[in-house]
Structure 1
Amino acid sequence: MLTIISEWIYCPVCGNKTRTMIREDTELKNFPLYCPKCKQETIINVQDMKITLAVSKFMYAAAIDNTITAVFQCLSAISVKGFFMLFLRWFLLVAFLYLT
C-alpha cells in the first residue's frame, strides 16, 4: 500500500499552524499563505516538502527604501553627542562579535 506523507504548514511569522496542508508531491510558487492567528499574509514557495519565503524584486526594493528612509530619519533626529554614542555602541558591538 502506498502512503503519501503530508504535513501542516506553519506560519513563518509567528510559528503557529495554519489551515493549509501540503503533501510530498505538492509544488507551490508565490502562494499567499494566511495565518489565522497573527493575521499576516506571507508569500511562500513549496517544493519537495521544503518551504521558502518568496521575495520579489518589488518587495526587496520597498524594504530597502523603507530602511534607507528610517536610517535618515534616525540620523536627523539625533544630535552630535547622540551620533557619537550610537557610533560607540556600534563599535563595541563589532569588537565584541569579532573577539568571540
Structure 2
Amino acid sequence: MPQLITGKDSLPPILGSYILIIKDGEEIHISGVPSFVPGADRYRDSVSENNDEFEDDEGNEFSIRICSSSQGVEWDLNLSAKDGDDKALAAHIRTEYQSNDC
C-alpha cells in the first residue's frame, strides 16, 4: 500500500523555493515550490499548487503535491516501492524544505 510522507513550513515562499527528497542521506529529486499569489484578499485565493512525479534509480515511484499560500507551504509525498514493501522504503526517505527567501 502506498505510503504518505507529509511536511509543512510556516514560511511563505516569496521568491520560490524547493523540496528536497532524500533517500539514505542522498538527494534523489528536487521539486519546485510555487510562489503564493501575493495581494490576494483571502487565504484560498493565495494558494498555488505544483504536482510532480518521478522514479528513483531502483524503479520506486514517487509523486509529490506541493501547496503554497500566504500561510506557508505544505506537501504530501506518496511513494510506491518497486518490490511492494512501501513501508520499508518510507523508512529511508525524508523531505527537506529549502527557501530561496532572504
User: Does TM-score exceed 0.5, indicating one fold?
Assistant: no
TM-score normalised to structure 1 length: 0.31
TM-score normalised to structure 2 length: 0.31
Higher strand residue share: 2
Higher helix residue share: 1
Based on CA coordinates, which of the two structures has the bigger radius of gyration?
1
